[in-house]
Copies of this chain bind each other. A is one copy, B any other.
């Protein structure tokens, strides 16, 4: 049985009043690929836009197996006890392959799942990262309008997903573990420049020596990078998500960060830049989609692909000729 379609007013009033069920349906709307849904979603975002922006957006990344769910469950409960309203979203470029496991099994978050001040949303299934990330960005806005003042955005860090999460959050926390095989699941080059904090999870399960070694290595590596635009240093913490050890220090450090970036104006500048980037990426995405999903243009692309494969034309030449055919100049 199809549910009754909510009107724009019902959606926007429901979201603004903090109704979790309606927030959930609003996010489903935002995630929808249907044209009529996209129009309503745009209208909804327009309505709630003045009520957005008043949260701290925390990105969390780390390889599978480092205990992201347990960390989010424990640290999330800690924040709710400190008075926060917490929404948890995910960017998962692998959701199509893995069947959407990221946050998919809400029962893994035992402490949060029944909290009235927690909202957990599994990752959207999507064809490709650009689209998925855009939906998550809009979901953040909806959660903020619903009164959530702390937003977690989780990712498994495959491919470009960390860049996407960095582009929609105020702070990127990198979760890792100490122990055997760490060389192989550790630090992706390119991520050191992005992260604002490293948390070594499951610290209770490893020997102090191995923990200290990893911590030392991380601190050394982090020092090799130039100072961040935020002017904040990247701290390394250890924690046990199951026991709740370490949350206090992590939270204090995040609060210090927030205070500093709000006073040195990095916070606002960064959010403004993010919005501009989202606009430009969305535009680029639309332009390219227009040509690559166009019944008139697609056969031309296919024709030139053949010429290129047969070595009758260089790829660059073919691109130039196709560009001329576009005739939008």
Q: Of the candidates B138, B186, B190, B288, which one forms a contact with A287 in the assembled complex, judged by CB atoms under 8 Å apart?
A: B288
| Cross-chain contact A217 with B157 (CB below 8 angstroms) | no
A53 and chain B: residue at smallest CB distance:
B311
Residues of B close to A152: CB separation below 8 A: none
Q: Are B315 and A279 in contact (CB under 8 A)?
A: yes
Instruction: Confirm or deny: A251 has a beta carbon within 8 angstroms of a beta carbon on chain B.
Output: no
Give chain A interface residues in 210-243, CB to chain B under 8 Å: 214, 217-218, 220-221
A188 close to chain B: CB less than 8 A: yes
Interface positions, chain A 262-299, Cβ under 8 Å from B, are 272, 275-276, 278-288, 290-291
For A284, the closest partner residue in chain B by CB is B288
Contact flags A173-199 to B (C-beta < 8 A → 1, else 0): 000000001111111111000000000
Cα A222 to Cα B229 with chains together (Å)? 37
Contact B189 A287 (CB under 8 A): no
Task: Mark A80-116 against chain B: 1 for CB-CB distance below 8 A, else 0.
Answer: 0000000000000000000000000000000000000
A329 part of interface (Cβ distance < 8 Å)? yes
A276 touches which one: B159, B275, B314, B315 (CB < 8 A)?
Answer: B315
Category for how many chain A residues contact B: 35 or more
The distance in angstroms between the C-alpha atoms of A318 and B320, with both chains bound, is 29
How far does the alpha carbon of A247 sit from the alpha carbon of B48 in the complex, in Å? 63
Q: Interface segment, A1-9, A69-77, A302-310?
A: A302-310
Residue A208 at the chain B interface, CB threshold 8 Å: no
Complex CA–CA separation, A282 to B50 (angstroms): 39
A205 at the interface (CB under 8 A from B): no
A278-B316, A279-B322, A282-B319 given. 16 additional CB < 8 A pairs?
A42-B320, A50-B311, A53-B311, A138-B314, A157-B189, A181-B217, A181-B220, A183-B187, A184-B221, A278-B319, A279-B319, A283-B291, A283-B301, A283-B318, A283-B319, A287-B291
Q: List 26 A-B contacts (CB under 8 A).
A: A45-B316, A46-B314, A46-B317, A52-B311, A134-B316, A137-B316, A141-B314, A159-B190, A181-B217, A182-B183, A183-B183, A183-B187, A183-B214, A184-B218, A188-B189, A276-B305, A276-B315, A278-B315, A279-B305, A280-B301, A283-B318, A283-B319, A285-B319, A287-B287, A287-B291, A288-B288
